[in-house]
Structure 1
């Protein structure tokens, strides 16, 4: 049996093939060219137990290409892999061999390879978040300008309604007015693109019955339901509600010894987009759901506002797991019992 590890970089990859004794059978640095990598691995394809690829920013083309060629591919969860700190030498070759060794030992932390079409829609939802953040920065810039010029700050909704005439009515100095016009032009463009993206996302996720179920949860509207649905993929990949909550970064990360906290574990191991979604859901739930508000206030009296909000986000994450698993609408008595 043979094992392969690929240390993937932006423009090249180190491909290693090892045997049962962790001895290198073949190893070479290759350009990020799929036919060349397939040609290098092809002599051992029938013997390979699997090919391990790092989950770097650019893994799509390689994993999809290897799978289409008939290879069994494992996507390594790089945030959960930690090499021995006392190693005297480390490099791309040793990294590739280490991935193959973890596969041979059966202790390789892996991530889920979602279907390409699902990834495309999920990445579109992430693009929407990027556009919204960019628009917010320009809105804040205009708010700050007005605060400097007039001593009062206009609201974000007022900024979105600004046009050439309203800017003229503000009687700003020429240079300041030009700066505001530049921000407003970018805001207008971003708003139109966000609208297009949201329309396409709604077309893709609205037919899914799980989307309607998620919107029954307090604090979760169309945008958050879209993010959660696309980031989760298949709920079946989570064996328990605890695994789901951990993936959403809604649980503590700490190291304990003799009943005392000795430090924190890997806080980045999980999905940052789901973490954001459930914190946002908790914020909205406190406003519009009396039971959620009572739960939050009860927790806040024992801890503080930040931990209470995280506790509410944890509750909502657990509720979403059961909703997606059981295909039943939200039950407020079960969630906040």
Structure 2
């Protein structure tokens, strides 16, 4: 067996090969082209196993390895740094260290998402980025309201045409032009979010657990898809504690010398699961009395910020046990909380205001 340590960058990579006993066989510096990798594999010959750090550019390499039946291990970058610190750090040193750790079976592996689940995950993350940009546009428009003391209509973003007319009557010409451009951006982002959502709906038949976890209070379409895409195989979590920790819903700890310190806002884990369960907690507290009672109990004792996180943690535990035990939803903290049947996408804009929103694609329907 030949073990390959790959130090991958955006345009090139350094590859080091070692034998089963850790002896260095060779080292190559290649550009990120599959034909060069194919030539290298033919030169090495024999069974091969490779490792690469979990950076933002590993997707294409994983697809290449899968198509060539080469086992590729994805190394957890933060944990790898903890066990393989080196004073001298170069591409050659990193690649050689990765190969040696792989040969010794000491690589801290990260979860590798492939195939349909990875495509769904990318779509959901792209949708979230679009929503964040849309929120920034909303903030810019609200700043114009406040700057010129313009009366804010009720639900201003429900009808963008009416909002544009309202601002043009109350703002000076320069700011009115700015507002019109911001509203055009809002229309474009709404159209892009809509297109992503239509694409996401096509994955439903491939994820049978979707209908099950969508019965949990506060978990709608977006949250259901995000949770399924980000979790992957639920069996990789040994317990519900491991799962809620991965969701960033429990604080870290730095206990030493008899002193206990909590580390809130710890970045270990999956930020997208934290967003999904935090949003689900807001919906559950808002519309389900048993969840609201539990939230109020925690809030009186520990404050609202802790209470929101505790509710999100309980929802995550419910999802974990439903998936790991293959069980239906049974209730929240022993109390029945039947799910609202309205499970539509949470749109903030009237479909009528989006007519002509994507002039490049006139085939899009007006209704969302």
TM-score norm. by structure 2 comes to 0.83
3-state SS of 1:261 partner: coil
Q: Deviations over 1:77-125 (max 9, x none)?
A: 1132224697331111111122222222322121222222321121011
Q: Supply the distance in 2 between the matched residues of 1:265 and 1:303 (Cα, whole angstroms).
A: 14
Q: Does 1:161 align with 2:162?
A: no
| Equivalent residues in 2 for 1:178-189, closer than 5 Å | 178-189=177-188
Match of 2:349 in 1: none
Q: Supply the distance in 2 between the matched residues of 1:293 and 1:245 (Cα, whole angstroms).
A: 21
Please say if residues 17 and 27 of structure 2, whose CA atoms lie closer than 8 Å, have aligned partners that are also in contact: yes
Shift of 1:17: 0.7
Match of 2:117 in 1: 118
| Equivalent residues in 2 for 1:142-153, closer than 5 Å | 142-150=141-149, 152-153=151-152
| Equivalent residues in 2 for 1:227-242, closer than 5 Å | 227-242=226-241
3-state SS of 1:29 partner: strand
Q: Supply the distance in 2 between the matched residues of 1:154 and 1:266 (Cα, whole angstroms).
A: 36
Report the CA distance shift for 1:92/1:265 in structure 2 as closer, same or farther (over 3 A).
farther
Q: Supply the distance in 1 between the matched residues of 2:334 and 2:68 (Cα, whole angstroms).
A: 46
Report the CA distance shift for 1:336/1:318 in structure 2 as closer, same or farther (over 3 A).
farther
Q: Supply the distance in 1 between the matched residues of 2:307 and 2:264 (Cα, whole angstroms).
A: 21
Q: Quote the RMSD (CA, aligned, Å).
A: 2.6
Please say if residues 79 and 268 of structure 1, whose CA atoms lie closer than 8 Å, have aligned partners that are also in contact: no
Deviates more, 1:234-243 or 1:70-79: 234-243
- Choose between structure 1 and 2: higher helix proportion: 1
Match of 1:8 in 2: 8
Q: Does 1:327 align with 2:326?
A: yes
Report the CA distance shift for 1:85/1:209 in structure 2 as closer, same or farther (over 3 A).
closer
Report the CA distance shift for 1:184/1:151 in structure 2 as closer, same or farther (over 3 A).
closer
Question: How many residue pairs are counted as aligned between the two chains?
Answer: 335
Q: Supply the distance in 2 between the matched residues of 1:139 and 1:287 (Cα, whole angstroms).
A: 23
Show structure 2 runs of 5+ residues with no match.
Answer: 337-368
Shift of 1:134: 0.8
TM-score norm. by structure 1 comes to 0.90
Shift of 1:32: 0.4
Q: Supply the distance in 2 between the matched residues of 1:18 and 1:230 (Cα, whole angstroms).
A: 35
Q: Supply the distance in 2 between the matched residues of 1:142 and 1:154 (Cα, whole angstroms).
A: 13
Q: Does 1:106 align with 2:87?
A: no
Show structure 1 runs of 5+ residues with no match.
Answer: none
Report the CA distance shift for 1:335/1:261 in structure 2 as closer, same or farther (over 3 A).
farther
